[in-house]
Structure 1
Amino acid sequence: MTRPRMQIGWKTWLGIGLVGPLVAGVAMIPSNASDVGDPAQRDGDHDHASMTAGLQDDLARVRRATARYHRVEAAEAAGYRLGWVNGAGRLIVNTCIARPAAAGGGAMGFHYFNADLMATDEVDVLRPEVLVYAPDDDGRLHLAAVEWVARSATSNPPGVSTAPSVLGMQMHIIAPAPTGPAFYLTHAWIWKENPAGMFADWNPDVSCD
């Protein structure tokens, strides 16, 4: 497997048109990974005091459905590829995605997209469109999160006109058009603990350095 490029600069994000307005607002199972994680939060926008038993069950189902993908090679064999080719034929989101310290720090990691799942307007909780891999100190990639993604009406190519929901939560856009891909998305850090919350976009324990 060719090791992905560790390109992490904030200017890189701006160059591929992924972040834009965000500046202002902003493999192996870990031995200490819990089945639930911390109370669900999304960058402070949604602060849930606790997870319901039903949500815990749903997350356990997602873990079972994605446990086969701890090795990047297994994800690639299932149709996942690093980055996304947009409607203009341009490969984007193909580097390690990090947030600068001035904006809060933390990172997401490498995004492996499934083109077949991205081509639909439907979101299936057991078939996430994106698998997120976090690098360790040696650069090896470990499955850290899943990400449900739906193209919005302003994506290229366009998708749905209203935000879908997953796990009972409405998906959101963090990189709107025209500078970003305008994806509706939701992260779930089911394979790596996230101090910011299970559903936070950024994980302070992930680094692209």
Structure 2
Amino acid sequence: MKNRILQIAKPVLLLFMVFATSCSNEQVEEEILKVYDFKIENAGNAEEQLEMLTKAMKRFHNFQVAEAQGYEAVSPLVPGMGVHYAKMEYVDMNFEVLKPEILVYHPDENGDMQFVAAEYLIPIPGCDPDTEYSNAPEGFIGSEDVWAVNCAAGGWTLHAWVGLENENGVFAPYNPALQ
């Protein structure tokens, strides 16, 4: 019981701290990772990385937190996915498990945005949809993550369905539950 109370109290205390102070987004993210004691470099496999990502993304189940952290809509509602919200300062040539460039939300029956997936974007300068690209970025440990070139998004993309289960797999680009 005490552990459960602590699990609830830490994030609540953190959110209070976020709103009670004028921290930068970067400082807020660092504090969140400290609260959950994430050490992504200690992950031994993709499953452990996904577990850490799932915990780190819990804060984004509240859509207003994503907006406050600087994620902005970059797509309309995409069938089988949702609406994509990007944090442009994260869009670079680096894959960071706990800092996805894009969060994917899907409206529920009331129109409320529900977090469904994290998405990674590694730019391809001058991305051309008629070009066949190889050498996908290194991502999660192992070979189960399959990157796709999406020139409309600007480069290599990878979904991680950590907010909504995907029967096609955690790294599949589309989720049939959202058709």
TM category, shorter: 0.5 to 0.7
Please name the residue that 2:15 is paired with: none
Q: Distance in 2 between the 1:202 and 1:136 partners? A: 17
Q: Distance in 2 between the 1:162 and 1:69 partners? A: 31
Alignment of 1:1-209 (within 5 A): 54-83=45-74, 94-98=75-79, 107-118=80-91, 120-155=92-127, 162-168=135-141, 169=143, 172-176=147-151, 180-207=152-179
| Paired residue secondary structure (1:67) | helix
Q: Could you say which structure has the higher helix fraction? A: 2
Q: Distance in 2 between the 1:55 and 1:62 partners? A: 10
The Cα shift of 1:162 comes to: 4.5
**Superposed CA offset, 1:52-103 (max 9, x none):** x8222111110121111111110011111110xxxxxxxxxx20011xxxxx
Task: State the identity %.
Answer: 29
CA separation of 1:71/1:55 partners in 2, compared to 1, >3 Å: closer, same or farther? same
**Cα root mean square deviation, aligned:** 2.1
The Cα shift of 1:174 comes to: 4.2
The Cα shift of 1:199 comes to: 0.8
Max Rg structure: 2
Q: Which runs of 5+ in 2 are unaligned?
A: 1-43, 129-133
Q: Distance in 1 between the 2:176 and 2:135 partners? A: 30
The Cα shift of 1:122 comes to: 0.9
Q: Distance in 1 between the 2:104 and 2:158 partners? A: 12
The Cα shift of 1:136 comes to: 1.4
| Paired residue secondary structure (1:108) | coil
Q: Distance in 2 between the 1:54 and 1:60 partners? A: 10
| Paired residue secondary structure (2:55) | helix
Q: Which runs of 5+ in 1 are unaligned?
A: 1-52, 84-93, 99-106
Aligned length: 129
AA aligned opposite 1:165: E
Give TM-score scaled by structure 1 length: 0.56
Checking the alignment, whether the CA contact within 8 Å between 1:155 and 1:183 is kept in structure 2 is: yes
AA aligned opposite 1:151: P
Checking the alignment, whether the CA contact within 8 Å between 1:195 and 1:204 is kept in structure 2 is: yes
Structure 1's consecutive aligned runs of 4 or more residues displaced over 2 angstroms after TM superposition are 153-156, 168-176
